[in-house]
Amino acid sequence: MPHGPAVRFPEGFLWGAATSAFQIEGGVHQDGRGPSIWDTQCHHTDLVEDGHTGDVAADHYNRWADDVEMMAQLGLTAYRFSVAWPRIQPTGFGPVNQPGLDFYSRLVDRLLEKGITPMLTLYHWDLPQALEDAGGWPARDTAFHFAEYAALVFEALHDRVGLWATHNEPWCSSLLGYADPSHAPGRSEPAEATRAVHHLNLSHGLAVQAMRAIDPHAQHGVVLNLTPIHVVGEDPEGAAADAARRFDALRNRVWTEPMLRGRYPDDALADLAAFGGLPVEKGDLEVIAQPLDWLGINYYNDNFVRAQPGGSWAGTPGMRDAVGFAPGDDHTDMGWPITPDGLRALLVHLRNTYPDLPPVYITENGCAYDDPVVDGVCHDPRRIDYLEAHLRALRAAIEAGVDVRGYFAWSLMDNFEWSHGYHKRFGLVHIDYGTQARTPRDSAYWYRGVIARNGLDRVGG
Ligand code: FCB
């Protein structure tokens, strides 16, 4: 149970909730949408729990107007969503599929009517399957296709959308997707994962360039899942410390260093040489290091590494097997530890490391708990505690001088949680997948109060 004094956030702070296209939209065959790598993962592998698919999800493609009304009733001042590339270009390149683009145009109009600031993410993992068939992110061409797609969406919406993110968590799109089969496209090829890292970075820079050429006024950012990493337990050989260093290089610095400083970290270059190396061509780093207007950070928990007798940390550049657990801590339904102070520490560390760090948005933060709806209400005190503790940590980072402009809870509503299917529930709003009924949980009403007072009341002694 968190405790602390009443605190207020800076004036104009954005209070939002986040979603992503594949996780909520459904409507996979509507209006000319093409298949994505997550449709393939759902329908043609057994790697998604219980064979769940995104075919219907929360049916947001058809219920978007009610969902925006719900956001307004919850008092949100911002909403982060992603555009499905396969709705805009069903095969990943070529002309716009107008009905797909119109969907987002209507959504944006309605958000603005309700006074809700849209934040648009161009890529939240749903690569058109045709592009994967042509090589996917390990292929350099994909970066150029992405920039063309970004320009098409920007052309249509930049008059109404001010906050643009290229990628969501490119670590997942590359090192997870191509080195760990549980994540689409379900490949287990470390060398390809390594190539994908560079092409994700390159595509980010190319897309920002392409969008700025159309209109220099929008605010461009990227969303990274950065995390503090700690060694726990005895580490006589220093193996865990080295694993932590490598994990930090691949999860954090292989993104922040090229994007914010125009270079790859030497240790990451050396580690990845074992997997064929990063396919950097002349001029790429200048392209990647486009000045950013903001940085989005998705924060769920710190990560922990412990020495594994006889274990090898070098097996995969995804480093998934290097993650241990916080000693004796409480966990959410994902098995993730609850480490709110890590959010403060991460932000202060970034500000100290990058003195010219752009303004930050917390673009995702939240927890999975499966509290049921009983008689039309859902009491979820653990989610309220989690959010409250993280908001207090965020406030402490602001107090310490980090320029944070907004916070987006993950998620607005329950949704398709990737390889876990519908088994993990992150929503402020509960979804009954049988009826599609939306029931705001206690945490949603609690969040409405936070937004209304732009801060937190005193809690505990
Ligand atoms: C993040 C993803 C988001 C959701 C949360 C729980 O890594 O960006 O789509 O799955 O985790």
Reading the block at residue 445, the tokens are: 């009403």
Is the CB of 169 within 6 Å of ligand 1?
yes
CA distance 245 to 240: 9
**Mean pLDDT score of the chain, rounded to an integer?**
94
pTM (whole model) above 0.95: yes
Distance 417 CA to ligand 1 centre (A): 7
337-393 pLDDT, tens digit per residue, is 999 999 999 999 999 999 999 999 999 999 999 999 999 999 999 999 999 999 999
Q: Which of 273, 153, 166 shows the shortest CA–CA distance to 224?
A: 166
Is the CB of 410 within 6 Å of ligand 1?
yes
Per-residue burial over 53-64, b if 16 or more Cβ lie within 10 Å, else e, is bbeebbbbbebb
Is the CB of 301 within 6 Å of ligand 1?
no
Q: Which of 375, 357, 365 shows the shortest CA–CA distance to 443?
A: 365
Choice among 27-41, 207-221, 299-313 with the minimum mean pLDDT? 299-313
Is the CB of 417 within 6 Å of ligand 1?
yes
Q: Is the pLDDT of residue 457 over 50?
A: yes
| Ligand 1 atom with the shortest distance to the CA of 418 | 10
Distance 298 CA to ligand 1 centre (A): 8
CA distance 208 to 135: 23
Per-residue burial over 226-240, b if 16 or more Cβ lie within 10 Å, else e, is bbbbbbeeebeeebb
| Ligand 1 atom with the shortest distance to the CA of 20 | 9
CA distance 387 to 447: 9
Active-site residues, by number, are 169, 364
261-292 pLDDT, tens digit per residue, is 999 999 999 989 989 999 999 999 999 999 99
Dihedral of alpha carbons 125, 165, 320, 142, sign: positive
What value does the mean pLDDT take over residues 220-238? 92
Ramachandran area for residue 328 (φ above 0: left; ψ -120 to 50: alpha; else beta): left
Distance 460 CA to ligand 1 centre (A): 31
Is the CB of 194 within 6 Å of ligand 1?
no
Q: Which of 119, 203, 225 shows the shortest CA–CA distance to 164?
A: 119
Choice among 141-155, 232-246, 325-339, 435-449 with the minimum mean pLDDT? 325-339
Distance 274 CA to ligand 1 centre (A): 29
78-118 pLDDT, tens digit per residue, is 999 999 999 999 999 999 999 999 999 999 999 999 999 99
Dihedral of alpha carbons 417, 423, 425, 426, sign: negative
